[in-house]
Amino acid sequence: MAKGNRIRGEASVVIEGKTYTIVIDMNAIAGVEDATNSSWALIAGRMANDLGRFSDMRHILHQGLLRNHPDATLTLAGDILSYDDGMEAVSKAIAAAFPQEENSDGESGNAIPAAK
């Protein structure tokens, strides 16, 4: 029996009066991997170590927009990222998709960190 979505993070942002809902789920992650020819783990690792690339964030946002905004383009994603609220919303969606979990010994689990 299937349970709820294990990986699905959502966040919304209002840019110039329009609300955009970002969904980071398996489809968005696979889309990012296809678009960048890099694994999600590699991209997340770069971001966690402050080595992230703006092109990675733009692809993450673009893929995250497509579920609710199927006409979204890379240019739109870049425009949204030009706003502080846009970057923050992407980070929130990633964090919601991969919440930090604690092991029984109190240490963080192996969740992929959100963008900084």
pTM for this model (two decimals): 0.79
Q: Write the DSSP string, 51-85.
A: ---HHHHHHHHHHHHHTT-TT--HHHHHHHHTSHH
Q: Side chain identity at 57, as an amino acid letter?
A: M
Domain ranges of the chain: 8-97
Separation of CA 34 from chain center: 15
pLDDT in tens, the chain (116 residues): 444 455 689 999 999 999 999 999 999 999 999 999 999 999 988 888 887 789 999 999 999 999 999 999 999 999 999 999 999 999 999 988 988 765 455 544 444 554 44
